[in-house]
Structure formats: structure tokens, C-alpha cells
Amino acid sequence: MRLIPFAVSAAAAAGLIFVLNRPLGPAPPLGKLLSPHTGFWQNAEPAGASFDADLQLEGLKGMAEVYFDERLVPHVFAENNEDLYFIQGYLHARFRLFQMDLQTRAAAGRASELAGPRAIEYDREQRRLGMVFAAENAVREIEKDPASRLIFDAYTKGVNAWISSLREADMPLEYKLLDSKPEKWTNLRSALLLKMMAKMLSSGTENDLAYTNAKSVFMPDELRRLYPQVHDSLVPIIPKGTVFPAPAIVPVPPASADSLYIGRRDTVKMKEISRPDPNNGSNNWVVAGSKTASGAPILCNDPHLELSLPSIWYEIQLQNKESNAYGVSLPGTPFVIIGFNDSIAWGVTNAQRDVKDYYEIKFRDASKKEYWFNGNWEKTEPREEIIHVKGQSPVTDTVYYTVFGPVMYDDRFTNDAAASRNLAVRWVAHDPSNEGKTFFWLNRARNYDEYEKAIRDFQCPGQNFIFASKTGDIAIWQQGKFPARWDRQGLYVMPGEDSSYMWQGFIPQTENPHARNPERGFLESANQRPADSTYPYFIPGSYITPRGITIENKLSGMSGIKPQDMMALHNDYFNTLAEDAREILAANVKENELDANARRYLDILRGWDLMAGPDSKGQTVFQCWWDSLETEIWKDELTRVHPQAPWPEEQTTMELLKKDTALRYIDNISTARTETLADIVTLSLKKAAQELLQKEKEGKLEWSLFKNPTVYHLIKDLKPFARPGLPVGGNGNIINAITHSHGPSWRMIVHLTDQTEAWGVYPGGQSGNPGSRFYDNFVDPWAAGKYHKLWFMRPGDRTDKNVKWVIRLQPAG
């Protein structure tokens, strides 16, 4: 068994709580934690542990079986939909209960119940963003549809069947360390998990507060240059040359837009406490049979998210008479989210679109019971929020709801009281929706028409749904509920005293950017803008350009493609941004002013092959130098306002310098002299060389050692349960987009031959128990760029050698 290494890790984790007694709150009772009968020892899973079982469960309708392969992937066979998703809920809870509990508590603004006082402000922000409000609206929409309600109810019953069976000894280790217990599951908690994904993927794609501050120091034409909507080098998702229809909605700006909105020059002092990672994104692409060796399409996907143990994903196959789907699921919700079935394959990337805006509210008085709207004092809807805090008394907050949504910022929350502004948030995720229905139907779709119908009502977060079928079709749709905006609407905080700045409608679903069976034989998305400037709607967002360029260039030159070629592309380290940026650096550095170390680093950069592999020193030199250059260019201008304005994207800086070596922002306005590009390129290398020399002395000049790629436990302070120092390269703007703790959370390749072939891997394991050999056994293959062959089990395979364990289930009684 894993007893000795697990005991060491568990003891170290407990030590963090006892000795440091910090982030996790009060320490658990020592005797309880160390009890040989119920303590952490019981979580050490024997190496030869069997998962065979015969179960009789309340809530099941018929007979069912779960066949586990050698990687602990369950292949579920049930007679009906209710049992299929009941069992999925049971398995999710059996292997990932603490993960489900923690993530949904955090989504609801209840992290303080486990983490103590340090999570109070996070919880307040979640509640002021309206996370529970959004989930409640979703549950009402789900439960309006009898079929959806049946499935979510069944899933919830399955989760609770496992929770009800738990003995004290079987409690996940984290509960023992936190001296806590799981709560019963509800449909609301499943909706909360989906809304947490919506926050991760759509709440961080707007920069309204930061752009409002930038507007206070830059003129409109400068703002367009520093924060462009369309990069010069953009390769859009929808191939250039696509003709878009005239817009069905033409939003009209209010007459006061120039004076009260565009021309307003004041700042906002609010700060976001838990802004989602801007690198949350993904790659997906599909090649038609015309470009493959087999003549069958190949579809690939790798969603980029925070890497964690347990993993965000749980691999599973779900089969009954009407469905046979394989892929990854989200513990806490039913369905396969990314995967394939007997006829099609699908994947997703984030649309990066802005679907959240802020409106300034005028309250009548300090009571906040009324606000001014359309010439009248309208009543707010107050919602008292009681935050229970581990180790101390509850904290109470009140959130006031308006016609726009909740007032997120006011004089009581992350605001400068001397310049208090009340900001309400309008977010598409608040609207009633049933995203689960999309995945229910994708799991069963057989062709393009059924795929298109399945995704039609998906609202938030906006996603690029890529598709391939055995009939040979390939397609991509950017699908979501996107506001139809007038030019620059929603880039900044908007006036909220009347309806003139409200959204005037939503882009019709049929006008969302999409493509099917292009002549070139492939489609791809990598979080770039979906369409070029000919698309008739204003579509702001936080787009990432370089990865799309790399993928486009690679696929354009490929033919006779095999799955192994796609594996190599998933793991590609080529740095497209650096290809252009290095020329700017090398052409403008004043080499005669450099010392020996700086010249040595310059030579490393010049000899670099532009691959950001784990052993690359050139990538480290480039990133340090480029970061230093950006600081020299932008810091003086952007720190004129507090909080500081956002820095232009790396791609923007490169394109500005490529077009104009005399760019006016090059000069440091804090000095008396006028700096040239050569001056600051040279100065930035000198400064970067100091950091590089220190890292070199520490033995960390190689890229993987420099950035220390790590898969953390969900509770980051439980470092003994993390996997640090992984030998991988990459970066956020590179196809293999691995940063310090973020990157490809699931790599999947599906070859749609007559008998579907598929491969996949994620950086984790099927079990959430740190004491199990299945906790992190996929991490090393993932880091090495290897894949598992995905066993798409058939009903006739029940005695196949791939079956390692079997759970047989039947109704109780």
C-alpha cells in the first residue's frame, strides 16, 4: 500500500495546520485525526485494493453495471437515463466528494466555513456578484423542463446515496484535516458548479474597471491603439473572406454617450478580489478527411484551466439504449462535457467575449432602499447575506439588487470611501438558462444538424463548440448569449440612472460566428477573436492571438495527417510571438554598452530555436527581457492613475513596435531626457540580466526550472499533496500552454474511423484520495506528452481483459 509515503504527506499536511495554524483555521482534534480506526490512516488505500461490489441502492429503477478498466475509468451501463445519471452522481461522490463540496461552497460564497476569516472578503465578493442568485435562476429553468429535472434529480440522489453510506473512517482526508463533514447534495449545488465555470470563463474576459481608469489618462484614439479590438496579425476562428449577413440588430448609442460616457475622465477605486486567470482558454481544431491519411476526420481539444489535484475532470463512459458517450465530466454535474459517441466528437474552447458590464447607481440615501432610474425612485431588493466563519462569529452583509443586477461595489465593499461609487453588475450568467441540456443532447447527437440543435440554447460562458462526424462533416460555432452592443458600449463603467445605456438585445443565434466544411479542410480556435473586422457587431473581449497563428500555420502545411501528428501538435512549444519580438530586440540593442553577462544572454537569445521546451534557456532569456522591456515602455504612463491602467497585451506591444520604432510611449516621462527604442531595449536587457544571473546561480536558467510547473492540491497550502517541479515547457501564448500552475487540463484526440479511435490524458488521476495510487498517476504521462488509448467499451466487452473491477447495482429491496 501507499502507507509510508502517504503517512509522511498526511503528517506534513497536518503539521501545516498544527504548527502554522493559519489558512485552514482551527486545528482538528489530534486524537481524532490520528485514530487508527477512523483517522487519516484509513485513507491509505492498499495497492491491491479491489473496487468490486454488489450494491442495492434506494433510488435505482433497474439493473446496472459499472466496469472499471486498469486506470479506474468507469464504463457505466444502465437501462434508462435516470439510472445512468444516478450512477454518475454516485461515482462522482465516491471518488471526488471533497472536491465537489469545496468548489460549490466556494461558488456560493461559503469558503469561510472551511477556511476561516481569511476567506471572508472572497465570500462577500461571490455573494455580491450574485452567484447564488444566478444558480437559483438556473435551477428554476432546469426544473421547468421535466426531462432535465428528472436527470438532475437522479444525479443528486446518486450523490446523496454515497454520502449516506459514508462511515467516519471513510471520510475523505480533507474533511479530517479540516474537522468538517460533507453536506447533502442538491440541484442548486450542481447549478452553482456550472455558474462557477461561468465565472472562471466569462467574468475575467472584461476589463471595465481597468479600462475606465485608462480612459482617465488616454484619449480615445490612444485607447484604440493600446487596446485594439482587432490585432494586425489576427488569424480569426472563422476563415478570412467569410461573408457575414447584415446584422438583425443595429444598436443605437444614447445621445449623451460622448459627454457622459466616452468623455468622462474620472476613475474607479474598486478592486477585484478573485479575478479569474486571464489564461483560462483552450485549443481545439479539427481536420477533414481530405487532410488525413485515413480519409476520416480527426478532432482535437485541450482546455486550459488551473491545474489541480484532484483534477477538474473525471473520465467516464455513459451508455444506455439511447446514448453511448465517452469523455470527461465535471464532478458535481451530470453528462460528458468534452468527448465523443458512436457518431460524432466535440470539444470546446473559451469564446473570451465580454458579457458582463457595470452601471453606476445613484441611491436616494444611505439606507439604499431606493435608487434613481428613468425619472423615478425605484425600490431595491435587499438580500441579507450571513457568512458563517470557522472559528468566529458570523459576518453579515447586505446586497441590493437593481434592474441591472446586484450592486457589487459600494461604500461597504472594496471601495474608496472618499470617492465612493455604487456599481451594479449586469452579467449574462444571471439570466435563466439550462446549459446541461446542451450536453445531454451532444452526448446523443448523430450528425451536424443534431449538434447544431444541441448547442443552440447554450448561454454562458460563451464557447467555441468544435465538431466532427463519421459522415465527414467538420464545423465550429461560437455559441453563447452575446449582447448586441454599439461601438465601445460596455468597455467602461456606464451611467445607470436610466435605461439608455442598457443592452438593446442579443445577437441572434444564427448570426454567431460559425463555419462548416471549409474548402481548406480544417478549423481551429485558440481563444482568438472569432471573426475579422467585417463581422457586423462590436464584440469586445480578452482575446489571445498568438496560439491561433501557430496552429493555423501548422495545419495549413500538413497533409496525410495521423493521430500521432496531432499528439505532436498538442505538445508543440514554438513561440510565435518571439519570432517577431526577437527581431525587434536584436535589431535595437546597443551591444557595446552591455557587460559580459548581458552579452552572453544576448548570444543565447540569438541562437535560440524559438522552442519553449523545458530545457530551453532562450525562452527564459526572452521572457525576462520582454517583460523588462514592457515595464520600461508602459510603467511610467500606466501608473499615473491608481489603480493602474491595464498594460497592453504582449501582442499589441510587439505590433506597435514593429510598425513604429519611434512610438511615443517609448520615452520615459519620468526622466528629463528623451529615450529611444535602442535606449530602452538596452536598459531592459541590463535589468533582465540581473534577474537572469541570479536564477542562473540558483541553477534555474532552464525554462521549466525557472517557472516551476506545479499541479497544486485544491487547497494550495496542502503542499505535500501537490506535484511541483514538473519537467514541462510552454507558456500561455504557446500551443502547449503550460504556465506555473495553469495549462492543458485534458488532451483529447478522436479519430472518427468506422471503429472510433481516441486518446486522452489529464494531469491528475481518477481518485481524489491522496492515499490512492489513482490520485496522480496520470501526471507523469501528461508531463511527458504521452496519451492513454481510450477504451470505448461495447456491451459485448463485459468479459474483456480490460475489465479490472465490476460494480453491479440493483434497486434496494
Residue 427 has pLDDT above 70, yes or no: yes
743-754 tens-digit pLDDT: 999 999 999 999
| Residue 126 in domain | no
pLDDT score, position 91: 98
User: Alpha-carbon distance 459 to 453, whole Å?
Assistant: 13
Cα-based distances in Å from 811 to 54, 158, 164, 165, 357: 11, 12, 16, 15, 49
| Residue 270 in domain | no
Residue 113 has pLDDT above 80, yes or no: yes
What average pLDDT is seen over the chain? 93
User: Alpha-carbon distance 159 to 554, whole Å?
Assistant: 44
Residue 352 has pLDDT above 70, yes or no: yes
Query: How would residue 596 be classed by pLDDT, with cut points 50, 70 and 90?
Result: very high
Q: 298-306 and 474-479 as β-strands: parallel, antiparallel, unpaired?
A: unpaired
Residue pair 482/539 in contact by the 8 Å Cβ criterion: yes
| Residue 241 in domain | yes
| Residue 18 in domain | no
Mean per-residue pLDDT for 92-107? 97
Mean per-residue pLDDT for 433-459? 97
Which residue shows C-alpha cell 476526420?
Answer: 297
Q: 422-427 and 474-479 as β-strands: parallel, antiparallel, unpaired?
A: unpaired
Residue 13 has pLDDT above 60, yes or no: no
What three-state secondary structure class fits 137? helix
**Angle formed at CA 96 by CA 788 and CA 35, multiple of 5 degrees:** 120
Residue 432 has pLDDT above 70, yes or no: yes
Residue pair 729/703 in contact by the 8 Å Cβ criterion: yes
Cα-based distances in Å from 464 to 199, 479, 507, 516: 17, 6, 16, 13
Mean per-residue pLDDT for 405-416? 88
Mean per-residue pLDDT for 647-659? 95
606: Cβ contacts below 8 Å, ≥ 6 apart: 586
| Residue 1 in domain | no
pLDDT score, position 204: 78
Mean per-residue pLDDT for 38-43? 72
User: Alpha-carbon distance 17 to 37, whole Å?
Assistant: 21
From 442, 551, 434, select the one nearest 145 (Cα to Cα). Answer: 434
What three-state secondary structure class fits 168? helix
Residue 89 has pLDDT above 80, yes or no: yes
Longest dimension (CA), the chain: 87
Query: Residue 476 is inside which H or E element, if any?
Result: strand 474-479
Say whether both 601 and 642 belong to one domain.
Answer: yes
Task: Kindly report which listed range (432-441, 593-602, 636-645) carries the lowest average pLDDT score.
Answer: 636-645
**Angle formed at CA 624 by CA 618 and CA 627, multiple of 5 degrees:** 130
Residue pair 400/382 in contact by the 8 Å Cβ criterion: yes
User: Alpha-carbon distance 336 to 334, whole Å?
Assistant: 7
Residue 16 has pLDDT above 50, yes or no: no
Where does a domain end: 707, 725, 758?
A: 707
Say whether both 216 and 298 belong to one domain.
Answer: yes
* More confident: 170 or 602: 602
DSSP string, 753-787: SSS-EEEEE-SS-S---TTSTTSSTTHHHHHTT--
Residue 5 has pLDDT above 60, yes or no: no
pLDDT score, position 18: 41
Residue pair 421/266 in contact by the 8 Å Cβ criterion: no
Q: 323-329 and 338-340 as β-strands: parallel, antiparallel, unpaired?
A: antiparallel
pLDDT score, position 4: 47
Q: How big is the chain by its Cα radius of gyration, in Å?
A: 27
Task: Kindly report which listed range (273-282, 401-410, 461-470, 563-572) carries the lowest average pLDDT score.
Answer: 273-282
Say whether both 563 and 595 belong to one domain.
Answer: no
* More confident: 168 or 69: 69
Say whether both 550 and 661 belong to one domain.
Answer: no
Percent with pLDDT over 70 in the chain = 95
Query: Residue 515 is inside which H or E element, if any?
Result: strand 514-516
Say whether both 759 and 809 belong to one domain.
Answer: yes
Ramachandran region, residue 387 (left: φ > 0; alpha: ψ -120 to 50; beta: rest): beta
| Residue 199 in domain | yes
673: Cβ contacts below 8 Å, ≥ 6 apart: none
Residue pair 458/476 in contact by the 8 Å Cβ criterion: no
Say whether both 749 and 671 belong to one domain.
Answer: no
DSSP type of residue 184: P
Say whether both 797 and 692 belong to one domain.
Answer: no
Task: Determine the angle formed by the axes of helices 576-588 and 650-659, rounding to 10 degrees.
Answer: 50
User: Alpha-carbon distance 541 to 534, whole Å?
Assistant: 17
Say whether both 675 and 548 belong to one domain.
Answer: no
Sign of the CA dihedral 173, 177, 181, 187? Answer: negative
Domain hosting 779: range is: 46-112+148-221+233-254+278-351+434-485+508-572+744-813
From 700, 782, 769, 630, select the one nearest 307 (Cα to Cα). Answer: 782
* More confident: 779 or 217: 779
DSSP string, 115-181: H-GGGHHHHHHHHHHTHHHHHHHHHHHHHHSHHHHHHHHHHHHHHHHHHHH--GGGS-HHHHHHT--
Residue 546 has pLDDT above 90, yes or no: yes
pLDDT score, position 510: 96
From 67, 69, 78, 566, select the one nearest 345 (Cα to Cα). Answer: 566
| Residue 37 in domain | no
What three-state secondary structure class fits 650? helix
Say whether both 152 and 84 belong to one domain.
Answer: yes
pLDDT score, position 14: 46
Where does a domain end: 707, 734, 760?
A: 707
Q: 74-78 and 64-68 as β-strands: parallel, antiparallel, unpaired?
A: antiparallel
**Global pTM value:** 0.95
Asked if residue 406 has a cis previous peptide bond (ω within 30° of 0), the answer is no
In the chain the first and final C-alpha atoms are separated, in Å, by 36
pLDDT score, position 285: 98
Where does a domain end: 686, 707, 728?
A: 707
From 711, 717, 768, select the one nearest 15 (Cα to Cα). Answer: 717
Say whether both 183 and 215 belong to one domain.
Answer: yes
User: Alpha-carbon distance 721 to 6, whole Å?
Assistant: 9
In 254-313, the DSSP E strands lie at 281-287, 298-306, 308-309
Mean per-residue pLDDT for 143-172? 96
Say whether both 556 and 699 belong to one domain.
Answer: no
Residue pair 190/332 in contact by the 8 Å Cβ criterion: yes
721: Cβ contacts below 8 Å, ≥ 6 apart: 9, 13, 309, 713, 770
753-784 tens-digit pLDDT: 999 999 999 999 999 999 999 999 999 999 99
Residue 683 maps to which CATH number? 1.10.1400
Say whether both 105 and 179 belong to one domain.
Answer: yes
Query: How would residue 3 be classed by pLDDT, with cut points 50, 70 and 90?
Result: very low
Mean per-residue pLDDT for 296-308? 97
User: Alpha-carbon distance 740 to 726, whole Å?
Assistant: 10
Query: How would residue 272 be classed by pLDDT, with cut points 50, 70 and 90?
Result: confident
Residue 559 maps to which CATH number? 3.60.20.10
From 422, 460, 423, select the one nearest 438 (Cα to Cα). Answer: 460
Residue pair 404/424 in contact by the 8 Å Cβ criterion: yes
Residue pair 525/284 in contact by the 8 Å Cβ criterion: yes
Task: Determine the angle formed by the axes of helices 576-588 and 677-697, rounding to 10 degrees.
Answer: 110
From 167, 194, 152, select the one nearest 39 (Cα to Cα). Answer: 167
Residue 239 has pLDDT above 90, yes or no: yes
Residue pair 138/191 in contact by the 8 Å Cβ criterion: yes
174-200 tens-digit pLDDT: 999 999 999 999 999 999 999 999 999
pLDDT score, position 242: 95
Grid coordinates belonging to 600: 552572453
pLDDT score, position 17: 44
CA atoms within 13 A on the CB side of 502: 13
Q: What is the amino acid identity at position 684?
A: S
Domain count, the chain: 2
466-488 tens-digit pLDDT: 999 999 999 999 999 999 999 99
* More confident: 283 or 32: 283
| Residue 766 in domain | yes
Mean per-residue pLDDT for 737-747? 97
DSSP string, 46-78: -TT----EEEEETT--S-EEEEE-TT--EEEEE
pLDDT score, position 19: 37
Other beta carbons less than 10 A from residue 51's beta carbon? 16
538: Cβ contacts below 8 Å, ≥ 6 apart: 229, 251, 485, 486, 487, 488, 489
